[in-house]
Amino acid sequence: MCYKNGYGCGCDKNNLRKERKIMTREEIQETLEAVENLCAFLGFVPEEWSRRHEEEIVYMIAVTPGKALRLITEEEAEEFLPCFGLDDVITGAPDTDLCMSYSPELVFQVGDQKYLDGPALVYDIDEEGDVVPITADDIYRVQQMLKKRTVMVREEGEKMPVISLD
| Mean confidence (pLDDT) of the chain | 77
Q: Where are the domains of the chain?
A: 19-52, 57-164
Instruction: Measure the CA–CA gap between 23 and 40, rounded to whole angstroms.
Output: 24
Per-residue pLDDT at 87: 84
Between 8 and 154, residue with greater pLDDT: 154
- The β-bridge relationship of strands 107-110 and 120-125 is unpaired
DSSP 112-162: TEEEE-S-EEEEEE-TTS-EE---HHHHHHHHHHHHHHEEEEEETTEEEEE
Instruction: Measure the CA–CA gap between 131 and 124, rounded to whole angstroms.
Output: 6
Q: Return all residues near 135 (Cβ < 8 A) that are at least 6 apart.
A: 124
pLDDT-based confidence at residue 16 (cuts at 50, 70, 90): very low
3-state helix vs strand vs coil in the chain, percent to 5: 30, 35, 35
Find how far residue 110's CA is from the centre of its chain: 29
Name the pTM for this structure: 0.65
Instruction: Measure the CA–CA gap between 50 and 32, rounded to whole angstroms.
Output: 17
In this predicted structure, the answer to whether residue 131 has a pLDDT above a threshold of 80 is yes
Summarised one tens digit per residue, pLDDT across range 41-79 is: 666 655 554 444 456 788 899 999 988 888 898 889 999
